[in-house]
Structure 1
Amino acid sequence: MAAIHFIDGEKGGVGKSLFARVMVQYCIDNKVLYELVEADRSNPDVGAFYPDNHKTAVFSESERKAYEADEIFDLALENSVIVNLPAQVYPAVTDWIERNQILEISGKNKVKIHKWFVCSGGYDSLQLFMQSLERFEKKIKHIFVRNFGLCDDWKHIDENQELQELIKTYKVPVIDFPKFSYRERNILDAKRINFSEAKNYKDLGILGRQRLHRFLKQAFEEIEKAKIWNPPAASITPPSDKVDTANSNGKVATKK
């Protein structure tokens, strides 16, 4: 069954784009058919990393632009669709869902809708998640993504009784998105290198590529914990950094 995967978080700076990039790479590495829709017009950075493999859409409460997101549902009839949402788009997305009766027709067309809500651990981020969860109840499957790159202490979340009751009531999977080291991320962002290209990017160095592999491995394992995707076969492979025998100068050469 195909699905629409909204990468949400509502607030800016909570890590939506990085998580969306990882989700795309998860599909690539696991040979899962997908469509990427870049819905962030102001900062289309996910589409920039996969320039030949994405479409664009916009969510708007304006009547003139109200139909520009319709292609997302059409695409979902064939494949799973990953939608990178911009910040502060909750009213427009909700309007699109309710005005078009998306929840009703998705059931008839066997299209599931998931919302991967990336949270920074901040009060506003948490309130927005609970707002979305209560608004759509069990009609949209929410996945709570705790971004450890922005917050490494989630005790206040674990002790939030209101949140924990909602998670229990709506059976929300909770996953931990690992921190991606600043050095490797800065290099990839500056060069607009996606994760597939980065696996063999010499400037990262052997240890940098190893840290990248470890990050992806941990992130993929967390995504699988949500039990939303059903990849046919995992194909995650570590960087290939082998050491040759001594060369003609008597030195050990390293393949990169």
Structure 2
Amino acid sequence: MSRRKRQPEPIDLKRLNTETGTGENNEMATDSDGLKNEEELQDVDDQEGGKMARTDDLNNQSEIPVIKLHFVSSHRSKDGKSFFVKTVAHYCEDQGKPIILVDCDRTNPDVSNAYTEARIVYFSENQETENYPDAILEWISENNLPAVINLPGGIHELVTAWIDRTLVPIIKENASLQENENREVDVKIYNWFLCNGEQASLNLFIDSLNHFGGCVQHILVRNWGMTNNWKIVDESTELEPFYKSPKSKIEEEIAIDKGKGIQLVDSHGLPIKKAIQIDFPALSSQEGKRLAREEVKFAQAILRPSQDGVTKEGKKAWPLWERQRVINFLKKASVVLDNTGLL
């Protein structure tokens, strides 16, 4: 299996946000910005008038490294995964939340074609290359950033096998530790599953919950760009025990078999976390196809013309009405993603 060796920096498009007039110019404080000694801590109030926290107390708290993986999956190809990933990438850029973007689709690399800074790695059943996805963990550890991973259709079993042999043992060991025992690393996995409203799609999502719903937080993404008929999902009795109430807070809930009054556990013996459901809005087909055809980022598509209908990048600007439809879509998607509290 060949690998593209492009190793760009993680996504952080504050520069693009500045050029397009979006986002905020927030500067992160450095160690040199902090107060130097205890006397200054006693004399200085914060902007709200309260005393600042003692930094020595904060420094004594050991921080455990966290590996966060956001997989974007579905039952098959052409369920909107790449489009969803690009939307998440734009959301993170606009919010000033750097991520590592990973494209695992060798057949239709729509994400890396638009985001040339995306990292490339493939899942394989070849024993010599089956652990190539370990590179994702290395990138996360080196940069201390979460990864958003675009998965192609039809590799569910390969991804599951890699997670089972690579990450589940760490999660199980951490779950067995006492509160006073230190973890070497914390692992948080999220499965953003693009559902198309069909029974086969829903069945795969439920199978995933049963297999490692205690190791992975599942998010059922109802993709309204694919369909507006969600009868199969809404009326599913199999899904009901795994569902988190829409009114629930961000805190995790454990799935319970109401009939027997017992906690549901996955195939690894861990209590299954209730799934979250979100409604991902649709973008008109015209703009969606143009984004794919031109292989551009959302930030580039909404650039205003500087002169003669040309953007700062020297490309022809999209018409105002098309840009506005894209902007309206991004606003709706941003609210949906923000409400999950997971990114």
Normalised TM-score (structure 2) = 0.63
Q: Does the 8 Å contact 1:143/1:226 carry over to 2?
A: no
CA RMSD of aligned residues (A): 1.5
Flag as ranges the 4+ runs of structure 1 deviating above 2 A. Answer: 103-108, 201-204
The aligned counterpart of 1:209 is 323
* CA–CA separation in structure 1 for the residues paired with 2:289 and 2:206: 32
Question: In the alignment, which of 185, 194, 205 is matched to residue 118 of structure 1?
Answer: 194
- Alignment correspondent of 1:57: 121
- Please state if 1:70 is matched with 2:134: yes
Q: 2:235 aligns with which of 149, 159, 163?
A: 159
Cα distance in 2 for partners of 1:175, 1:97 equals 24
> Any idea what SS the aligned residue of 1:111 has?
strand
Larger radius of gyration: 2
Alpha-carbon distance between aligned partners in 2 of 1:134 and 1:105, rounded to the nearest angstrom:
19
Number of matched pairs? 227
Letter in 2 for 1:129: F
Identity over aligned pairs, percent: 34
| Contact residue 144 and residue 173 of structure 1 kept, 8 A | yes
Shift of 1:74: 1.6
Contact conserved, 2:76 with 2:153, CA < 8 A, in 1?
Answer: yes
The residue type equivalent to 1:228 in the other structure is L
Q: Deviations over 1:187-236 (max 9, x none)?
A: 2221111101011165431111111011111111111222212xxxxxxx
Q: Is the 8 A contact 2:75 2:200 kept in 1?
A: no
User: Does residue 16 in structure 1 map to residue 81 in structure 2?
Assistant: yes
Structure-2 change in CA distance of 1:2 and 1:27 (3 Å): farther
SS in 2 for 1:36: strand
Residue 132 of structure 2 aligns to a residue whose secondary structure is coil
Aligned letter for 1:61?
A: E
- Residue type matched to 1:214 in 2? N
- Does the CA contact (< 8 Å) of 2:303 and 2:317 recur in 1? no
Q: Aligned ranges for residues 125-136 of structure 1 at < 5 Å?
A: 125-136=201-212
Q: How far does residue 2 in structure 1 lie from its aligned partner after superposition? A: 4.5
Amino acid at match of 2:233: I
Q: Where do 5+ consecutive residues of structure 2 fail to align?
A: 1-65, 175-183, 245-254, 256-272, 305-315
Equivalent-residue separation in structure 2 for 1:25 and 1:197 (angstroms): 10
Post-superposition offset of 1:166 = 2.0
Q: Is the CA contact 2:67–2:185 (under 8 Å) kept in the aligned structure 1?
A: no
Structure 1: gaps spanning 5 or more residues: 230-256
Question: 2:248 matched to 1:172?
Answer: no
After TM superposition, list the pairs within 5 Å mapping 1:1-256 onto structure 2.
1-51=66-116, 53-77=117-141, 78-100=144-166, 102-105=167-170, 108-168=184-244, 169=255, 170-200=273-303, 203-229=317-343
Q: Does the Cα contact within 8 Å between 1:10 and 1:86 map onto a contact in 2?
A: no
Q: Given residue 71 of structure 2, which amino acid in structure 1 is its aligned partner?
A: F
Cα distance in 2 for residues equivalent to 1:35 and 1:44 = 16
More deviation in 70-79 or 86-95? 70-79
TM-score normalized by the length of structure 1: 0.84
